[in-house]
Amino acid sequence: MKPLVARDPFRIGVVAIVCGALLGLVVLVLSVANFGTTSYTAVLEHTAGLRKGEDVQVHGVSVGRVTGIELVDKQVMVSFVVDDGIDLGSETSAEVKVSTLLGTHYLQVDPQGSGSLADDEIPLERTSVPYNLQDVLEGGTENLQALDAETLADALTAVSETLSASTGDIGPALQGVARLSEVVTTRSSQVGALLKSARSVADQLSDSSDDIVGLMEQTNLVVAEVTARREAIHRLLVETTGLSDALTAIVTQTREDLKPALQDINLALSSLNEEDEALKKVLDVMAPAVRYVANATGNGPYVDLFAHDPAFPADDQLCAMGSC
């Protein structure tokens, strides 16, 4: 049996420290190294609050992170990585956007164009940053300096006095605003649907603008034709009214002359009726005589006459006596 060898605590501690250092180094390398990603650079006018480690999004999906921010020749160079499956074309653009009200941001990348991104860099003309408070303060400094302090103080005093006088009305007004805000919040989905419907109607009207213009032109033609027909009908009514007035005047002027003439016409009609009756009787009487004349002259250009003389026997009697 081998005797136990005493372990050196110093050596054990050194080995443990070296192993821990190597493990930390491996963790650091793994955290810094970008496996399965591609590095790009974007040139910004300013950082707009963007910080290292914040997300890089494409169409609202996180596909990478910001790896570095540095100032180069008065321009901000933002380094970022995206997943290898994301292809950034030659017209790719980038924009810094605010993620939350607490001040977090993200880099919105919009892949566009064909081919690949030149030098893996998005130039300044295709990047944008949000409008921040510093720009507002710098732009409003001159306007604030131009204000008259005394006039502003008097205005604020007047506002304060007015608010003090209407303290009882401010509370209900604020409550009304709060209720209105609640209604708008609860009906946000309906308002959104209404706005979408309004947008659909606007798009439909825009698409049908040519048809609407054509319909309006046809309507103008119809209105013009109706107007012309109305004027023609108006002229016809005016002329008819004039003719009616003229006839009325003629009848009024010739009323005394027409009465005797109408009476004479009635007498003439009565005489003609009497003559018609007489002629009818004549025709009734003449009909048999005319029929006999037609029978007598119907055999040729002569007239058949029959005269019975008792001295001469008839033909049938002659035949009976044997003289046929």
CA-based torsion, 287, 293, 294, 295: positive or negative: positive
Say if residue 37's pLDDT is above 80.
yes
> Which of 105-109, 143-147, 180-184, 193-197 has the highest mean predicted lDDT (pLDDT)?
105-109
Q: What is the pLDDT of residue 24?
A: 75
> 116 falls in which pLDDT band (50, 70, 90)?
confident
> 95 falls in which pLDDT band (50, 70, 90)?
very high
Least confident of 143-152, 194-203, 245-254, 304-313: 304-313
pTM of the full predicted structure? 0.36
Task: Pinpoint the alpha helices (H) of 108-187.
Answer: 133-145, 149-165, 167-186
**Better pLDDT: 109 or 320:** 109
pLDDT mean over 29-34: 55
Q: What is the pLDDT of residue 260?
A: 79
Q: How many Cβ atoms sit within 10 Å of the Cβ of residue 91?
A: 14
**Better pLDDT: 139 or 98:** 98
Q: Which residues pair with 98 in a beta bridge?
A: 105
The average confidence (pLDDT) of the chain is 79
Least confident of 55-59, 98-102, 225-229, 270-274: 98-102
Q: 198-215, pLDDT tens digit by residue?
A: 888 888 877 777 777 778
Say if residue 77's pLDDT is above 70.
yes
* % of the chain beyond a pLDDT of 70: 78
Q: What is the pLDDT of residue 133?
A: 56
Say if residue 144's pLDDT is above 50.
yes
Say if residue 10's pLDDT is above 60.
yes
**Better pLDDT: 134 or 45:** 45
Q: How far apart are the C-alpha atoms of 324 and 318, rounded to whole Å?
A: 6
Least confident of 2-11, 100-109, 249-258: 2-11
* % of the chain beyond a pLDDT of 90: 15
Q: 261-300, pLDDT tens digit by residue?
A: 778 888 888 888 888 888 888 877 777 777 777 776 766 6
For the chain, state the CA radius of gyration: 61
Cβ–Cβ < 8 Å for 95, 112: no
Q: What is the pLDDT of residue 1?
A: 47
Cβ–Cβ < 8 Å for 103, 54: no
237-255 core/surface letters (b: 16 or more CB in 10 A; e: else): eeeeeeeeeeeeeeeeeee
Q: What is the pLDDT of residue 322?
A: 67
Say if residue 57's pLDDT is above 90.
yes
Say if residue 196's pLDDT is above 50.
yes
